[in-house]
Every structure is written in C-alpha cells, then in structure tokens.
Structure 1
C-alpha cells in the first residue's frame, strides 16, 4: 500500500488521494520534535522535510510533484484536465502558483510570526515574503471573479494546491483574505474528499481547531 509521510503540505496529497479513491496509509512525522529523532524517516528522505510518498519502489518528495505523479500514474482523472482542454492552461498555472507563488512565500511569514523572537516577527524578510504572497494572490482574486474554481467551472487539483496555501496564510500567518477567497475556501472545503482528508490528518484538524481564521 502507498504510504504518505507527514502532514503539512502532505494534506494536499491526502486530499488528492481521497478525491481519487486510492488506497494509502498516513505515517506521521513530527517536525517540531525534530526529525533527527526519526531515523526511519531520515532513511527515506535525508533532507528531512515533508511530504514524502513511497509507492512500491517509487519514493517522491514535493507535494505538487507528488500530485502530478499520482494523477498521471493512476488517472485519467477530471482533477487534471487534458492538455487539449481549454481549462488546462489555467489549471497548470494555479496548480503551481499554489506552491511557488503562495505557500512558499507565506511559509516564511508563518515562521516569523509564530516562532521568531518577538523583535523579529515583522522583520524585512518576512515583510518581503508577505509582499510576494499578496502580489500573487491578486491572480487568484482576479480568476475567482471570473469562475468559481481556478481552472473554470470544475474543481481540479489546482484548487487543492491553492486552498492549502490560503489556509496556511489565514491560519498560520494570520493574513486576512478577501470575501472572494473566503467564499472559495468554503466551496472547496465543503467537498467530501476534503472532509475525509481532514479526519485522516488529525494533526491538521487539531491545528485548525486552535487557530482562528483571518
């Protein structure tokens, strides 16, 4: 059976697996306790970050790459439009924007605001990272003014990617989101696949319960 190591961005992978109806198990990884105390995990990913999947003899890291692998190997799936579909360019753009433009930048805001010394929580680098996030968020806002989902009328894996980033921003970074983004998260998080994933990812569920939404 496929194994997913770690939550965090691994929530994207678990959500995708639930949407696709694929069998897997989730193996927790406690980054706060220190991966140096988890030699089994370090043997799989010596870089020590999550998520990781093991699928037979395949080991992969990076949540978006894992998602693309799963959809290509176990598809076709409506979560990934065909390259000839008119929705494909927007799908491809927002699938990657969810990490490269949004989550990767707001990650440093979350770190500064939650773990840095008080005097460093609004430092220059955190401000720059927030500025990058906010500029990329304008692309999401513009798209949501046109269509209910980021690739058009239908939910895709791009929405999994971006929803995670927006949740990270408003819960972990306390970044206020606009009405369009909040309504969008309400739509995507109402899906059964999302709800099943949240029940599997108990650490994520507990984090959501203790963090207010901006």
Structure 2
C-alpha cells in the first residue's frame, strides 16, 4: 500500500489515488511543529519537505513526479494520455505548468503575504512571483476558453495539478478569478474523487473552509 506523507501538495497525490481507486494511507506531517521532531518522516525525506511517498521499497518526493510514477506504475489510466495521443502535448505542458509556473510562484507570494515582516509583504520578489503566476494563468484561461479541461475534452491528471494551484492562489494569495476559471474550478472540484480527497485531507479541508472554500 502507498503511504502518502503530508498534505499540502500531497493533496494532489491523494486526489490522484482517489481518482484511480488505489489503496493508500495518509500519514500526517506537522511542519509547524518542526520535522526535526519527526524522525520517521526524516528517514523518508531527509530534506524535510512534503509530500513524499513510500510504496514498498520505493521512496519519492515532489508531487508531480509522484503522480507520474503512480500513473506509470499502476496504469494505464485515462488520467495520463499516451504519448501518441493528440492531446498529450497539452497534457504534459499543463501537468508541469501547474507546479512550475503556478503553484511555485504562489508559494512565494503566500509566504510574503502571510509570514514576512509587515514591511516586506509586497516586496520586489513577491511582485515578481505574482507576475509570473498571472502570465501562466493566462495560458490556462486561453485554453479553458476553448476546451472544458486543460488538455482538451477529458479530465486528466493535468487538471489535478492546475486546480490545486488555482485553489492555493485563491485561498492563500487572494486571487480573484473570472467566469471561465470559476466555472472550471466548480466543474473539477465537483468530482467524487476530489470530494473523497478532501474528506481524507482534513487539514486541507479546514484550511479551505477558513479561507472561503
């Protein structure tokens, strides 16, 4: 059975596992308490960040890499189009853009706005990160004006990647979306897999409720 360590971006992994109907367990990791007090987790990921997984002898970190591993190991699955599928380039692009262009940028915006000293909450780096997020969001919006999902007509793991980032930006960065993005978020989060993942990830569910959904 796959053990998922930590929520945060680990929510992507849990959501994927729910969509694929694979058995797993979620092992909480309390970053606020300090991972130095969690030797079991540090034995899995000595770098001390989440998520991580243990699947038999396999240990992995980085949410997108974990998702790709799970789909390759336990697929095939329609969540991962095959390389010869015409939608594969869009799928691959948005699977990675959801982290590299969207979630990573918002991580630094959120840190500046909620953790940094008062005088540094709108510093140059925070503004640059928001600019990067907005430019990548434009790619998402343009695609969603053409198709219901980021890789085309069908829901894929790329939507898990992107939707996590959009929700993070709304909850933690105060980003306000237009009708296209709001309809997309509603469509994707209406899935049973998302709802089951939220019921499993109670910290994420509580955080979402505190930040307005």
Paired residue total? 213
The residue that corresponds to 2:34 in the other structure is 34
Which stretch shifts more, 16-25 or 178-187? 178-187
Indicate the SS of the match to 1:70: helix
The residue that corresponds to 2:92 in the other structure is 92
Gaps of 5+ in 2: none
The residue that corresponds to 1:143 in the other structure is 143
**Counterpart Cα distance in 2 of 1:42 and 1:106:** 26
**Counterpart Cα distance in 1 of 2:173 and 2:34:** 22
Deviation above 3 Å: which 4+ runs of structure 1? none
What displacement does 1:178 show? 1.8
The residue that corresponds to 1:154 in the other structure is 154
Indicate the SS of the match to 1:154: coil
RMSD between superposed Cα atoms in Å: 0.7
Structure 2 matches for 1:11-30, cutoff 5 A?
A: 11-30=11-30
**Counterpart Cα distance in 1 of 2:85 and 2:2:** 30
2:51 is the alignment partner of 1:59: no
**CA deviation profile, 1:50-109 (whole Å, cap 9, x unmatched):** 000000000000000000000000000000011111111100000000000100111000
Indicate the SS of the match to 1:167: helix
**CA deviation profile, 1:125-162 (whole Å, cap 9, x unmatched):** 10000000000110000000000000100000000000
Gaps of 5+ in 1: none
What displacement does 1:177 show? 1.7
TM-score (norm. length: structure 1): 0.98
Indicate the SS of the match to 2:3: strand
Structure 2 matches for 1:1-214, cutoff 5 A?
A: 1-212=1-212
